[in-house]
Amino acid sequence: MSMNIKKTAAAGMTWVLLAAGLAACGAAAPAAVPAAAPESAEAPAGGEIKAADSSEAEAAAVQDNSAGQTGFVPGLSPDTEGVVNVVGHYNNFEAIEEEFNRFNEYYPDVEMKYTYLDNYSGIIAAAVGGSEAPDIFFTYPWMAKDEKFSSLFDAAEDLAQESLGIDLSCIREDLLSADAQGRVLEVPVYTTTYGMLVNEDIFEKEGLNVPATYEELLSACEALKNAGYESPVMGYNGGDSLIFPLFYPHFIGTVFNNEEAISELNEMAPSAGEYMRSSLELVGDFMSRGYVDIESCNALENDYDAVIMRFFEGDVPIMMATANTASGTGKRESKSEAFSANPFRYGFYLAPSTENGGYFLSSVSIGFGVNKNSSNLDITNEFMRFLITTDELNRMAEAKRMVTPCTGIPSDSIYAALRDVDSEHFINMSELTLLPEPDTQLKIAGRLVGSGEMTVDEAVAAFGTLE
């Protein structure tokens, strides 16, 4: 086996997810939810994307685990030699190292490398066209409309070519994307959404079910408050509203299929603030009930490590989070003295914002693109053919604690609750055409209403001018 893991301080860059529809493999495009872990960043909502309206089929696919399970059959000679270099922005990418090891069982003479780029978004376009160009590179959905990365589109291989033999059917159709020429220039590796980390042992101890509706959430919080839990709900309060995973999916759910609303919001019409009202009322209602200790939330220094370690103290029933944040829980269990001394069962659930539950905003976190000018293109494509299978992608997702892009979430995953999402609450974010400007206004409004700095009426009236 030959494997080399390199860490390089450079000026890195995140790449691009394409848009359109892929009829042959069940296509749709990447989304606009949080970008990649561990530095969870939120992508602007929407994009120039064409995709089939197939939420019902996609929701079913979250539960189905039958596609793409034929497994990998080697197509090259076992004594094939070469070098495959994957570059990305994960400082520590043990999941890909495990895949390298498994791939080397088939091709022991192939050198597999992962190179970490410190400032990924600064140099990846130049790096792909350079003398030491990578073979595979990270892609991110929020880069889709940025013209400065157009050279990446030019350098990326069409992974849907039949000659490559890559089985894209194992990937949920809402996550695949194609450009105007029908080319698939990236494949999703990890996906994400919004929700909440739930201490399941606390709920069992207090004789409560994990809430599935907004009224159940309120009832559970009231019971937990009466049982002595000072802050039944916590979340990071240093960026968007600490209950962002509750009200943002609610907002997207209210405007997703409303073309008139999206149009007025994108035009930044002053009256479009009314489309925020019900979601802001949700914020105001929940925050007025005393279920959140603001001071405790203000003490959280970031929305990743600090959130996880505080959750592992064991006295927080619900921690608002993204799946990107939840991805860091596995490695931090042993780092938490409290959790090591008193471990508990926990899972990731949608935050219920309506009488019918919460919304699953389905979005790509990171993907892989292949450099079509690679000097080792045959073995690079062989690795991609090996990786893009249900078994390997699920293995990658489990190792990183991310949501699998495959057509079935394993029942033993911390994301198992997402298997039960109904089609009406499953939203393919690649189909959302909301622009960044109104999206930002909603986020600011939620934070100001949540903190009590503005009333709902004031925030609605100030749409377009919020800072």
Cα(2)–Cα(237) distance, integer angstroms: 45
Q: What is the mean pLDDT of residues 49-65?
A: 48
Cα(276)–Cα(272) distance, integer angstroms: 8
pLDDT over 90 (residue 135): yes
For the chain, state the CA radius of gyration. Answer: 22
Q: What is the pLDDT of residue 430?
A: 82
Strand partners, 8: 117
User: b/e map of 327-353 (b: 16 or more CB within 10 Å)?
Assistant: bbbeebeeebeebeeeeeebbbbbbbb
For residue 324, what pLDDT band results from cuts at 50, 70 and 90? very high
Q: What is the mean pLDDT of residues 226-245?
A: 91
Q: Do 2-193+361-429 and 194-360+430-461 have matching folds?
A: yes
Q: What is the CATH class of 2-193+361-429?
A: alpha beta
pLDDT over 80 (residue 206): yes
pLDDT over 80 (residue 200): yes
Show Cβ contacts of residue 132 under 8 Å, excluding neighbours closer than 6 positions.
Answer: none
For the chain, the structural domain boundaries read 2-193+361-429, 194-360+430-461
Q: What is the pLDDT of residue 275?
A: 98
Q: What is the pLDDT of residue 54?
A: 47
Question: Taken in order 57, 34, 276, 449, is the CA torsion positive or negative?
Answer: positive
Share of the chain above pLDDT 70, in %: 85
Cα(155)–Cα(135) distance, integer angstroms: 10
pLDDT over 70 (residue 359): yes
pLDDT tens per residue across span 432-447: 999 999 999 999 999 9
pLDDT tens per residue across span 155-199: 999 999 999 999 999 998 888 888 888 999 999 999 999 999 999
For residue 419, what pLDDT band results from cuts at 50, 70 and 90? confident
pLDDT tens per residue across span 83-99: 999 999 998 899 999 99
pLDDT over 80 (residue 296): yes
pTM: 0.81
pLDDT tens per residue across span 254-279: 999 999 999 999 999 999 999 999 99
User: 194-360+430-461: which CATH topology?
Assistant: D-Maltodextrin-Binding Protein; domain 2 (3.40.190)
pLDDT over 70 (residue 32): no
Q: What is the pLDDT of residue 2?
A: 47
For residue 150, what pLDDT band results from cuts at 50, 70 and 90? confident
Q: Would you give the DSSP letter of residue 352?
A: P
Show Cβ contacts of residue 188 under 8 Å, excluding neighbours closer than 6 positions.
Answer: 17, 30, 171, 175, 176, 364, 365, 366, 367, 405
Show Cβ contacts of residue 69 under 8 Å, excluding neighbours closer than 6 positions.
Answer: 170, 389, 390, 391
Residue 89 in contact with residue 58, Cβ under 8 Å? no
Whole-angstrom CA distances from 188 to 31, 231, 348 are 11, 36, 21
Average pLDDT, rounded, for the chain: 86
